[in-house]
Amino acid sequence: AHLEQISQTDDKVEAYVQIDTETALKKAADVDARRQAGESVGPLGGLPIAIKDVLCTKGVATTCSSKMLENFIPPYDATVIKKLSEADGIMIGKVNMDEFAMGSSTENSAFKKTRNPWNLECTPGGSSGGSAAAVAAMTAPMSLGSDTGGSIRQPAHFCGVVGMKPTYGRVSRYGLVAFASSLDQVGPLANDVHGAALLLEAISGHDQLDSTSVPKDVPSYTSNLEEPLKGLKIGIVKEHYVDGLDGEVELTVREAYKVYESLGAELIDISLPNSKYCVAAYYIIAPAEASSNLARYDGIHYGHRTENFENMVEMYSRSRGEGFGTEVKRRIMLGTYTLSAGYIDAYYLKALKVRRLIRNDFDDAFKKVDVIASPTSPNTAFKLGGMINDPMSMYLEDIYTISANLAGLPGISVPAGISKEGLPIGLQLVGAPFEEGKLLRAARMFE
């Protein structure tokens, strides 16, 4: 049914970059046969899952929507992909994204523009735009994305689906092509909170192959999901309601807070005084790490190699010049600059100190509240082409999501309403480290 839905809608939405119908159907038949024979079937029981093209899939091209990796076929599966198969989930296809996960609209893909299923003139958000659009177009009930500064939550908000970034270290990054390693996390998108909980449960857990993954047991996120949280304390951050926040988005989240109140939750005003620095700190730290991570794409270790060179230096620079798109180049230049000998103290090391202050603010806040509620991003889905030549506005898309990455915290975006123009609006909830269970239950109460 989902393959049929792809054939009916994906020529308009263009979420998928690759579909292997035969393998998917074979796996589905296998799960079905085992079920018929009364054998045990994993918790994902044959569900089709769309995979962001940033996750390594053995024998299946993994491009990061970049010309640089156009011909890269990984010889191994990412840990999350392995776990999906073990749980009997089925990869239905690989989906589009901003090149190397840099962007907020999926327009930085080197291959195609994905459209928002709610309005085909709008972007699906990004960088996991293909993952969100696939779920919204009902071509997959769930998908995997990655979130470095908001790339799961913002597209979930744009496309009216649920998207969750887990605590840093909850999910293995092994086989996730690195953008900014201290911020990147893989997470689920789904058409409801239950789907997100089910998928998160399947992919979470310690992994020897990722030294930053945390050796902590994975609770069952689905088993007590339906139990409402008694006495839930929700933090409302006073710094969040500023110029630049769309009126309808503000109204919708404020309505959502009232719904929580009517369910018995307590709203508590809090302050995150350093949150105003989060975009600035992120756009120092993420490009710095990216410039280092992307050094491996030199046409020799990895990636596209130019055909047109006279000597070694020319070979390196032309390969990188031809392989990377504009935004990726901008990030590499920013990153190499802020890490360079004369500037590292003023920029990179300063940003790390700000990052610590942001985390301290959250630690204080979570002494008073269980979760923090906010808009997911300041506006609803914008038009294709509307922001792509304005990197500053694009970076401000992340103003509500980035601090959770800087502080390593879990965050979820859940649909909260629809604008007058018919575009979805999400509500974001952020929790204390490893409180995914509480976050999912809080989101489910509202759903």
Question: Using N-to-C axis directions, what is the helix angle for 278-293 and 326-339, rounded to 10°?
Answer: 100
> Tokens in use for 7?
């054939």
Residues labelled as active-site residues: 52, 127, 151
Determine the residue type at 252. T
Rounded Cα–Cα distance for residues 85 and 80 (Å): 9
> Which of 57, 114, 116, 127 touches ligand GLN (CB under 6 A)?
127
Rounded Cα gap, residues 297 and 73, in angstroms: 15
What's the closest the beta carbon of residue 67 comes to ligand GLN, in angstroms?
18
Amino acid making up residue 235: G
Q: Which is nearer to ligand GLN, 147 or 207 (CB)?
A: 147
> By C-beta, is 149 or 408 nearer to ligand GLN?
149
Nearest position to ligand GLN, beta carbon: 151
CB of 8: closest distance to ligand GLN in angstroms? Answer: 30
Distance in Å, CB of 189 to ligand GLN, minimum: 13
* Residue 381 binds to ligand GLN (criterion: CB under 6 A): no
Beta bridge partners of 16: 95
User: CB 262: neighbour CB atoms within 10 A?
Assistant: 8
Which of 63, 151, 185, 213 binds ligand GLN (CB under 6 A)? It is 151
Q: Does 105 interact with ligand GLN (rule: CB under 6 A)?
A: no
Q: How far apart are CA 160 and CA 41, in angstroms?
A: 30
**Least Cβ distance, residue 102 to ligand GLN (angstroms):** 5
104 binds ligand GLN (CB under 6 A): yes
Site for ligand GLN in 278-297 (CB under 6 A): 286
Instruction: Specify the amino acid at residue 120.
Output: L
Q: Does 234 bind ligand GLN (CB under 6 A)?
A: no
| CA gap 446, 4 in Å, rounded | 32
Nearest distance from residue 126's CB to ligand GLN, in Å?
7
C-beta neighbour count of 226 within 10 angstroms: 10
Nearer to ligand GLN, 109 or 148 (CB): 148
Residue indicated by tokens 């080197």:
110
Q: State which of residues 89, 93, 149, 437 lies at the interface with ligand GLN (CB under 6 A).
A: 149
31: CB partners within 8 A, 6+ apart: 41, 45, 46, 88, 90
For 447, other C-beta atoms within 10 Å of its C-beta total 13
Which of positions 171-200 make contact with ligand GLN (CB under 6 A)? 179
Binding site for ligand GLN (CB under 6 A): 101-104, 127, 147-151, 179, 286, 398
